Amino acid sequence: MSYLFTSESVSEGHPDKIADQISDALLDEFLRRDPEAKVACETLVTTGLVVLSGEVNTKDYVAVEKFVRETIGEIGYTNSDYQFEANSCAVISAIHPQSPDINRGVERQYPEEQGAGDQGMMFGYASKDTDDYLPLSLDLSHILLQELAKIRREGEVMTYLRPDAKAQVTIEYSDDNVPQRIDTIVVSTQHDEFDNDDERMLEKIREDVKKYLIRRAKKRLPERVQKLFKEDYKLFVNPTGKFVIGGPHGDTGLTGRKIIVDTYGGKGAHGGGAFSGKDASKVDRSAAYAARHIAKNMVAAGVAEEVLVQVAYAIGVAEPVGFYVNTYGKANVDLTDGEIAQKVQELFDMRPYSIIERFGLKYPIFKETAAYGHVGRKYRKDFVKLKYDGVDSEKEVEFFAWEKLDYVSKLKESFNL
C-alpha cells in the first residue's frame, strides 16, 4: 500500500521569514565587527512596525535600524500599498547585554573547552531521496518558491506578484519508500488587486503558475524527478480565492516560527530550538548543522540509505551528554545503530569550539541561510567584508560548510566500505 508525505516551504517575503532574515542580518553585522560577539536577536514584524529584542555582547556598535531597512528592501517590501515598507516602517530596539550567568559557561581559559551555550538536543537528517540528501517534498517546495521569487524580481511575467508566498508538495511513495509520483502541489502567492474581478484573477494566476512557475521548477530537477509529474497531479492555487493582504500586514511574523521549513520538512526530527539570530556558541544552531553534516556524509558514504543523528548538551559543558544514530533499519553495515553511533563519534569532534572551527562559524555568513532552508544548500567559498577594530578588510570564507561531503572517505575507511 503506497503512502503520501507532505512538506511545505515559505517565501522570503513571508512574515516569519522576514523576521528570520532581519535577525540573521543583524547577527552578520555584529560578527562583521567582532568575531567573538555573542548574539541572540529576536524580531517581530507587523503592520508598519519592526520590534527587535534579545541579548548581545560585543565590543563594537551596530546601527541596527540601517540593516533592518536594508533587509526589508532587499526582500521586496518597497511599496507603501503593502502596509509594511522598508523606508517608512517604525523600528524599535530593545536589545540588551547577554546575561553574565550564561556567558560564564561559554567563555573559558582555553578556547577548546568552550561550553555549550544552552542545554537541549539537536537533530540532523539525510536520505537518498534527492541529490542534496533532502526529502523530495521539501526540496520541491523550496524550488517552487525560489523560482517564484526570481519571476517576481525579473518583472517580465506575473507582474502582479507580491513578496509573500507559500508552497506545499505531497509525494506518493511506494511501500519501500521510493517516490512514485507528485500527488498534490499547493501554491499560495500574494498579488495585486485585479479590478475586483476575483474569478478572472484566480484563473489568471492559476494559468501562470502552470505556464511559468511549474515549468521553470521542473527544469531545475533531474530527469528521474521530472518523470514524477504525471498528468493527474492536483494543483491548488490560492485556494481561498484571493491573497492581496499579506506580509506583516496580514500576519504578524516572529523569528524562529518556521523551524521545520528550515530543516527537513517533517522528516527526521527537530529538537525545538530555532536557528536565526543566534551566534554559533548556541548549540541550537551550530550542533544542528554538525548533526546534518554527519548524517549527510554517512548516507553519501553508503553507511545507510537514511540517517537521523541526535546530539544533546548541558549548558556550560563542552562534551555532548548524548549521541544517537537511527538508520531506520536501512544500514548497509552489519552493526547495530548503537555500534554505528560509537564509531561515528570517534570521527567527529562535537565540542562547540570544534564545530565552530570546522565550519568557520564566526564570520558573517548567516543571512543567506534564513530563507529556503538552512540545509540542502550549495557549499561555496566567497569573500565577505570585515571591519575588525574599525579596519576594513575582505576574507574568503565558506558558506554552508556543513553541506560538504568531506568525511565520506573517512567513514568508508572506518566502516570498511
- Let me know the angle formed at the C-alpha of 40 by 124 and 324, rounded to the nearest 5 degrees: 20
Nearest to 114 by CA among 350, 360, 405: 350
Binding site, annotated residues for K(+): 42
Confidence at 133, pLDDT banded by 50, 70, 90: very high
Amino acid 290: pLDDT: 98
pLDDT (average), residues 222-234: 95
In order of their start, the domains of the chain are: 3-9+135-245 (3.30.300.10), 120-127+280-414 (3.30.300.10)
Nearest to 290 by CA among 305, 275, 302, 272: 275
Task: List pLDDT tens digits, range 51-63.
Answer: 999 999 998 889 9
Binding site, annotated residues for Mg(2+): 16
Nearest to 148 by CA among 130, 132, 166: 166
**Would you state the cell numbers that stand for residue 15, as one nine-digit string?**
512574515
The residue with cell 560578527 is 31
Where helices occur in 274-407 by DSSP H, the ranges are 283-301, 337-347, 352-359
- Length, in residues, of the chain: 417
Question: Cα separation of 302 and 154, whole Å?
Answer: 41
pLDDT (average), residues 328-350: 97
Interacting residues of 305 by C-beta distance below 8 A, sequence separation 6+: 127, 128, 299, 327, 328, 330, 332
Amino acid 406: pLDDT: 98
pLDDT (average), residues 355-375: 98
The amino acid sitting at 68 is V
By the 8 A CB rule, do 26 and 67 touch? Answer: yes
Confidence at 309, pLDDT banded by 50, 70, 90: very high
Binding site, annotated residues for L-methionine: 55, 98, 251, 282
Task: List pLDDT tens digits, range 65-105.
Answer: 999 999 999 999 999 999 999 999 999 999 998 766 555 55
Q: How far apart are the first and last CA of the chain?
A: 33
Percent of the chain exceeding pLDDT 90 equals: 89
Amino acid 184: pLDDT: 98
Nearest to 414 by CA among 313, 314, 346: 346
More confident of the two residues 194 and 398: 398
Binding site, annotated residues for ATP: 14, 164-166, 242-243, 251, 257-258, 274, 278
Question: Cα separation of 252 and 10, whole Å?
Answer: 14
Binding site, annotated residues: 14, 16, 42, 55, 98, 164-166, 242-243, 251, 257-258, 274, 278, 282
Long-range pairs for 145-153 at CB < 8 Å and ≥24 separation?
A: 145/9, 145/10, 145/11, 145/372, 146/372, 147/213, 147/216, 147/217, 147/220, 148/11, 148/187, 148/189, 148/213, 149/11, 149/12, 149/13, 150/216, 151/212, 151/213, 151/216, 152/76, 153/76
Amino acid 191: pLDDT: 96
More confident of the two residues 106 and 196: 196
pLDDT above 60 for 123: yes
pLDDT above 60 for 108: no
pLDDT (average), residues 91-120: 75
More confident of the two residues 296 and 114: 296
Confidence at 205, pLDDT banded by 50, 70, 90: very high
Amino acid 100: pLDDT: 64
pLDDT above 80 for 112: no
pLDDT (average), residues 292-297: 98
